[in-house]
Amino acid sequence: MDNECRGEGMSVNVPRSRMPGIAWPAIPDGRAATLLAIQFQLEQSQWWSPDDLAAWQLRQLRLLLAHAGRSVPFYRERWRKAGFDPRALPTLTWDDWRRLPILTRADIQDAGEQLYSTRVPPEHGKPSVLHTSGSTGRPIAAARTQLSILFWEAFTQRDHQWQGRDRNGKLAVIRHAEPGRDPYPEGTRTPNWGHARRAVYDTGPCVALNVNCSPEQQVDWLRREQPDYLLSFPTNVARLAEYCLEHGIRLSSLRQVQTISEVLRPEVRELCRRAWSVRVVDMYSSREAGYIALQCPAHEHLHVQSEGILVEILDENGAPCSAGQVGRVVVTPLHNFAMPLIRYEIGDHAELGPPCPCGRGLPVLTRIVGRTQNMVVLPDGSRRWTLLSSDDVAELRRIAPIRQYQFIQRSLETIDAMLASERPLSRDEEERLRAWLETKLGHAFAIRFIYVDEIPRAPSGKFHDFISQVAR
């Protein structure tokens, strides 16, 4: 039973009570009670000092290392060769930690089941295996326990709390679906927001549509569904907002947009403000590592979810970055005893931020810059970011009526320019675009123009405006 009190325009969500005859205060069942216990601790720990958070992370990491050394063949052999035995350490220091080698996606692929623990604590629940989308070109299979899923649910609840969402509202989800799933015009309807949301609280309904539907179809569906919340990819949200602005359409019921899976650019936030008068909330996660960072309730940057994961931002020499520096993202989930990912280089780059004025001690990521494959490789072997600012995109569209674009680096000297435009570009427009690309990329690449009606998304549903096949 879920209890909802309304007064003066506000609603209060009370946990679902499982005790007969008791509505409030709620007495939940075992799993829900465990989630509430974790949530209670998360409410406290978000305000801890960075030193206190780091100390408890080290305590948990020592347990994880001891478990990996005992029961994971890959680490047992790797550390034996390195002369490292976590069980011999009286305490674990950050200097000890940073001596551990980095784990790459190639390591995971090569190791296979050698990365699986042979003695998962039964209290952590039955292990299961999931597969990543492989946006880097290297899909992997990752094992996790029911405990990992429990922490995922706890951080999902934290996100709802931080962002003040009304769980009684309707959630619309537009993302990748298998062929035939979530089709236009009806999509798919479920009675709640999913297990992570309904484990403790009842929620409103959830409706879903395949992201491969056209913007016109998606907007038509949204107008009929009238959702309170929209979850989708940043590039898709931008196209929907632009479509609504061009056609004078307002989604009057919409209260918030949540973006996932891609880099969120500042202009997408502004587009949503102009089109729908709503704010955009971002998050950073991966299938194999879980939640990495959530957007601050008071600011647009992200807070690392330190109670569930250690995040290191490292420079090219492997040293920790300072605030304001961009570096490689290296993660260690703290509670995955089925397949420990210890110092796992996830393939992203991010900018470390200064302490947050909100008072939370959780580390700050100012922005997620992108994946290694989003960097252009110059003929001298150096790499540079290709992310375009809103001014860059405006300049591109002043050159020609381009609706959609994607640049694919095929070699050190050649780039394919995939363009979905209202018409093929004139020779003068193509030359201006070549000059624009030379300025942005730092080299006079040979450009091949390819005109298409629509540029498809990756199988995962994600969209990248620049892909370097040289960087793989």
- 234 located within any domain: yes
The residue segments making up the domain with residue 329 are 148-370
- Binning pLDDT at 50, 70 and 90, where does residue 2 land? very low
Residues 188 and 295 in one domain: yes
* CB contact at 8 A, 164 and 11: no
- 390 located within any domain: yes
DSSP letter for 184, please. T
- Binning pLDDT at 50, 70 and 90, where does residue 133 land? low
- 28 located within any domain: no
Query: Average pLDDT, stretch 391-420?
Result: 86
Domain end marker among 309, 337, 370: 370
pLDDT at 382: 81
Query: Average pLDDT, stretch 105-128?
Result: 94
Domain end marker among 333, 353, 370: 370
Residues 344 and 394 in one domain: no
Over residues 372-401, the pLDDT tens digits come to 667 788 898 887 776 566 567 778 878 888
* Global pTM value: 0.84
pLDDT at 181: 86
As for how many domains the chain has, the answer is 2
Higher pLDDT, 435 or 87: 435
Residues 386 and 404 in one domain: yes
Residues 407 and 312 in one domain: no
Q: Is 282 exposed, middle or buried (0-12, 13-18, 19+ CB in 10 A)?
A: buried
- CATH number of the CATH domain containing 420: 3.30.70
- 280 located within any domain: yes
Domain end marker among 317, 345, 370: 370
Q: Quote the percentage of the chain above a pLDDT of 70.
A: 93
Residues 268 and 200 in one domain: yes
- 356 located within any domain: yes
Residues 219 and 295 in one domain: yes
DSSP 308-376: TEEEEEE-TTSPBPPTT-EEEEEEEESS--SS---SEEEEEEEEE-PPPTT---S-EEEEEEEEGGGEE
Structure tokens at 2: 């879920």
Over residues 26-49, the pLDDT tens digits come to 888 888 999 999 999 999 999 999
Closest to 318 measured CA to CA, from 327, 310, 326, 331: 327
- 50 located within any domain: no
